[in-house]
Amino acid sequence: MPVAAKKSARRRRVEPELIFGDLWTFDPAPESADPKLQTRYKLFIGGKLVSHKRGRYFESINPATEKPLAEIALASAQDVDAAYAAASAVAPVWANFPGAERGKYLYRLARLLQDRAREFAVAEMLDGGKPIKESRDFDVPMAAAHFFYHAGWADKLAYAFPGATPVPHGVVGQVIPWNFPLLMLAWKLAPALACGNTVVLKPAETTSLTAMKFAESVMEAGLPAGVVNIVTGAGETGAAVVNHPRASKVAFTGSTAVGQHIMRATAGTGKKLTLELGRKAANIVFEDAPLDQAVEGIVNGIFFNQGHVCCAGSRLLVQEGVEEAVLKRLKNRVRMLRVGDPMDKNTDIGAINSKAQLAKITELVQSGVEEGAEVYQPECELPKSGWFFKPTLFSGVEQSHRIAREDVFGPVLSILTFRTVDEAIEKANNTAYGLSAGVWTDKGSRILKMSTALKAGVVWANTYNKFNPASPLGGYKESGFGREGGKQGLGDYVKLT
């Protein structure tokens, strides 16, 4: 191109749809590793896989095919009692292990996760519906990183809490959700074990497989029997874990409604409680932001893991002057997302975790249309079977709309606008939740102002969804209390004397 023509092209803003033509077609690239699943999983109690008392099983379904993957034991209150008995019996022994010895076991668990990484990644993808590239590149390595990080703390607790003596709580009851099954397990188990607690953990009903595979690793690592116990089941089993009198501490991640229920149930029992609950995070784009980078951050913020992310940037606040430019780029980018078979390494958006969650997303999207917001969905073809939902953008959203207030927990972005910094802060904080937020701007001083003013446990600047075991995550308001990760997360697993 002649120099003069190049200069004029640079001066003219080249609109994104002129850059990207039609979608490329890719050959299928299915992951081939064997997840090594069993057809039936028992409970993990006292260091062994044991049959449960009532002998009932439920199926774990692959949300991309609606076909069963394995049968999972449904733990009764009696089974939960047996798990607490095993955890209580070994609690004083584990608490008195030298920290360096506990650390060795945690390092071993981290390395075993790495050794079997592909197997875990495929199992997580099949059971939960997330794309293989996410389970392979995020869930499994991040779970291993949490064990490595906390292994390092196990013999250094005195330095984490100078001037105080950290003492474990004893037996901890933990209940986790289905969006990051293995990673949530790691967030819960690693700090609890490093601090000398023993654990009874319940995975979510739809995603127990990687927890049961992890039980195999616990046996392989040779942890003393009863230090880790895993009881599978539904909400009733979760309630039995939370309400058990031998639980000295309860750690829960899930919905605000169940969190509130647990708070009432544990009130006055003396149990230490931490809750990681719902969210409606604001991702805020100012006029001076690098727009192309911001659009990547917006897409990652809401479409990562089908939007089943506790921190998902589900409310986009755009400064009025760049609304049109951002929306145009966003539509163009969303058009290129590949929705479909989670097994395919090219897939960006996999299956919705369950039929119930798909129904909830569909109902909330319908409410957005009825309340007058403008909906955009790309023309992509969804697989014939399985639970899938198109990436969805809503513009012209009002703060009163349900899609601006409620936790959709799906691939649905609500776009609102603002004019001034103060208006952005007011709108961002106008929510019952406060787990995370994002800010996109060229100005460092504005980032500092926003991160102070936003009532959110984590604020990302010019990036989104960045996690690290050393960095604490936790909520304000109805997003819960307590922190996971970092020194702050450790503090929730010890009593200081």
Binding residues for ligand NAP, rule: CB under 6 A, are 175-179, 202, 204-205, 234-235, 238-239, 242, 253-255, 258, 261-262, 276-279, 310, 407, 409, 435, 475, 479-480
- Answer yes or no: 195 catalytic: no
- Identify the three-state secondary structure at position 73: strand
Partner in contact with 373, chosen from ligand NAP, Mg ion, none, beta carbon below 5 to 8 Å by kind: none
Ordered alpha helix ranges (H), 304-420: 323-335, 355-370, 402-405
Q: How far apart are CA 497 and CA 493, in angstroms?
A: 13
Of 319 and 479, nearer to ligand NAP (C-beta) is 479
Catalytic residue among 134, 205, 276, 323: 276
Interaction between residue 232 and Mg ion (CB under 5 A): no
Interaction between residue 206 and Mg ion (CB under 5 A): yes
Partner in contact with 407, chosen from ligand NAP, Mg ion, none, beta carbon below 5 to 8 Å by kind: ligand NAP
Pairing assessment for the beta strands 282-285 and 272-276 based on DSSP bridges: unpaired
* Site track 42-61 with Mg ion (rule: CB under 5 A), x = hit: ------------------xx
Of 157 and 408, nearer to ligand NAP (C-beta) is 408
* CA distances to 322, 421, 438, 476 from 454, in Å: 22, 11, 10, 10
Partner in contact with 278, chosen from Mg ion, ligand NAP, none, beta carbon below 5 to 8 Å by kind: ligand NAP
Of 261 and 328, nearer to ligand NAP (C-beta) is 261
- Answer yes or no: 220 catalytic: no
Which backbone phi and psi does 5 adopt, to 5 degrees?
-65, -40
Per CB under 5 A, which of residues 120..179 are in contact with Mg ion?
A: 127
Of 60 and 197, nearer to Mg ion (C-beta) is 60
Q: Which tokens belong to 20? A: 């990207």
Give me the least distance between CB of 127 and Mg ion, in Å please: 4
| Percent of residues in the chain assigned helix, strand, coil, to nearest 5 | 45, 20, 40
Of 60 and 300, nearer to Mg ion (C-beta) is 60
Q: How far apart are CA 217 and CA 123, in angstroms?
A: 14
- Nearest residue (beta carbon) to ligand NAP: 238
Partner in contact with 127, chosen from Mg ion, ligand NAP, none, beta carbon below 5 to 8 Å by kind: Mg ion
Catalytic residue among 310, 323, 406, 478: 310
Pairing assessment for the beta strands 166-168 and 494-496 based on DSSP bridges: antiparallel
Per CB under 5 A, which of residues 417..476 are in contact with Mg ion?
A: none
Cβ contact 247:262 at 8 Å: no
Interaction between residue 392 and Mg ion (CB under 5 A): no
DSSP state of 26: -
Burial class of 483 by CB neighbour count within 10 A (0 to 12, 13 to 18, 19+): buried
* CA distances to 227, 284, 362 from 215, in Å: 11, 41, 36
Active site residues: 276, 310
Task: Give the interface with Mg ion as residue ranges (CB under 5 A).
Answer: 60-61, 127, 206
